[in-house]
């Protein structure tokens, strides 16, 4: 009897990436075929499309949002980057609804967000620089001031500003930083530590009734630099009052006036400004200075709160100085992350 031959299906030999790609292709084909010829794809998702357009307008026209009601404009600008989280949500909902209109509309907020913050997603870290600076709100309730001081000094910064210093903790910081920084001055609750000589040290009046800002001339090898250390008043979000920041805004204006009157052209501002670069309430400062984060480094550089950073309220800003790179330091005993930057004071060869 003739032997019957059996043919069995064998493995195609496709690699795992090829099989995954094939599954994705089949899924996309099913999705497209489900939409093909269905005119309702243009009628569905109109509400989603409207939300996408509104989101685009909020991000693109954030400067036009009034502060008259609960400082809503400043509140929006403080957390502006986080509005981008709504974009993938809208995208998924548009796909689920099989709405071509919503899908196209979602492109609008995506383009606006990338225009505002896309540059911070790329690494703009530069080499060189002749001065490294750092700032840290050490937190008045810090239980390990010595360890915090050592962590900041380990950054290699030539000049360090500390904010929210208490009278009891100052000796601890002075002792911990003495071996690294030969020169220092504490004015009220802020202080500057430097490897280079300090002169013309004085408090800066930011209209609080006590000292939370100071300036000093630092004799760096690349030339004299006016260094300002500041801690602007805190802001609060209250249900009945909204974003309460009146005193912060008043102090920001006073700080801006002091910097504008500074006779030394090369200026570095270090401190906790309790506001982001997008916040129009800080315009008296931000309009005349350049952020090291926006011009160099990579990522958003959020500094607060340390456990889950959501906003960059600790700033390093410069005038007539070139920022090269910036970064946040590891968490210390504070509720803020330290922020550091390397800058170029001698720009004559640039």
Q: What is the residue-wise DSSP string for 8-31?
A: --------HHHHHHHHHHHHHHHH
Average pLDDT in the chain: 88
Position with higher pLDDT, 133 vs 10:
133
Average pLDDT, integer, range 317-323: 97
295: confidence class by pLDDT, cuts 50, 70, 90? low
Pick the CATH number of 131-344 from 3.40.30.10, 2.130.10.10, 3.40.50.720, 3.60.10.10: 3.60.10.10
What's the pLDDT band for 122 if we cut at 50, 70, 90?
A: confident
For the chain, what are the domain ranges? 16-121, 131-344
29-84, pLDDT tens digit by residue? 655 555 555 667 777 889 999 999 999 999 999 989 987 777 788 888 889 999 99
- Residue pair 207/243 in contact by the 8 Å Cβ criterion: no
Share of the chain above pLDDT 70, in %: 83
Residue 350 confidence (pLDDT): 54
Cα-Cα-Cα-Cα dihedral sign, residues 250, 251, 253, 254: positive
Taking the alpha carbons at both ends of the chain, their separation in whole angstroms is 93
pLDDT-based confidence at 203, cuts 50/70/90?
Answer: very high
Q: How many helices (H) and strands (E) does the chain have?
A: 10, 14
pTM for this model (two decimals): 0.81
More confident residue, 124 or 91: 91
Task: Output the pLDDT for position 10.
Answer: 45
Q: For residue 151, what pLDDT band results from cuts at 50, 70 and 90?
A: very high
Indicate the burial class of 297 (C-beta count within 10 angstroms; 0-12, 13-18, 19 or more): buried
Q: Which helix (H) or strand (E) holds 103?
A: helix 100-117
* Average confidence (pLDDT) over 120-140: 86
Handedness of CA 285, 227, 269, 184 (dihedral sign): negative
pLDDT band at 120 (very low <50, low <70, confident <90, very high): confident
> How many CB atoms neighbour CB 44 within 10 A?
17
Measured CA angle at 110 (ends 105, 111), to 5 deg: 95
Across residues 190-194, what is the average pLDDT?
98
Residue range 207-228: average pLDDT? 97
Per-residue CA distances from 177 to 79, 134, 166, 193, 247 (Å): 34, 13, 16, 8, 32
């Amino acid at each position: 009897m003739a032997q019957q031959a059996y043919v069995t299906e064998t493995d195609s030999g496709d690699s795992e990436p090829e099989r995954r790609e094939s599954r994705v292709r089949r899924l996309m084909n099913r999705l497209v075929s489900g939409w093909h010829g269905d005119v309702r794809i243009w009628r569905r998702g109109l509400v989603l499309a409207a939300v996408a357009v509104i989101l685009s307008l909020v991000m693109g026209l954030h400067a036009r949002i009034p502060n008259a009601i609960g400082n809503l404009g400043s509140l929006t600008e403080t957390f502006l980057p986080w509005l981008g989280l709504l974009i993938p949500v809208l995208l998924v909902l548009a796909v689920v609804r099989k709405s071509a209109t919503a899908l196209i509309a979602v492109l609008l907020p995506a383009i606006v967000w990338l225009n505002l913050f896309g540059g911070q997603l790329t690494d703009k870290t530069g080499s060189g620089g002749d001065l490294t600076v750092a700032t840290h709100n050490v937190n008045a309730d810090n239980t390990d001031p010595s360890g915090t001081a050592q962590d900041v000094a380990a950054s290699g910064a030539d000049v360090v500003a500390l904010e929210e210093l208490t009278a009891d903790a100052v000796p601890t910081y002075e002792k911990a930083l003495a071996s690294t920084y030969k020169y220092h001055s504490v004015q009220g609750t802020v202080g500057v530590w430097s490897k280079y000589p300090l002169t013309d040290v004085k408090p800066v009046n930011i209209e609080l009734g006590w000292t939370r800002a100071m300036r000093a001339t630092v004799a760096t090898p690349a030339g004299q630099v006016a260094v300002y250390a500041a801690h602007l008043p805190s802001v609060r979000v209250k249900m009945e009052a909204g974003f309460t920041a009146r005193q912060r805004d008043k102090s920001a204006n006073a700080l801006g006036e002091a910097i504008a009157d500074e006779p030394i052209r090369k200026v570095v501002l270090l401190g906790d400004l309790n506001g982001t670069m997008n916040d129009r309430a800080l315009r008296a400062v931000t309009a005349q200075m350049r952020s090291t984060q926006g011009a160099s480094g990579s990522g958003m550089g959020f500094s607060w709160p340390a456990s889950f950073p959501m906003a960059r309220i600790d700033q390093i800003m410069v005038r007539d100085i070139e920022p090269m790179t910036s970064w946040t330091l590891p968490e210390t005993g504070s509720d803020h992350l330290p922020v550091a930057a390397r800058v170029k004071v001698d720009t004559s060869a640039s």
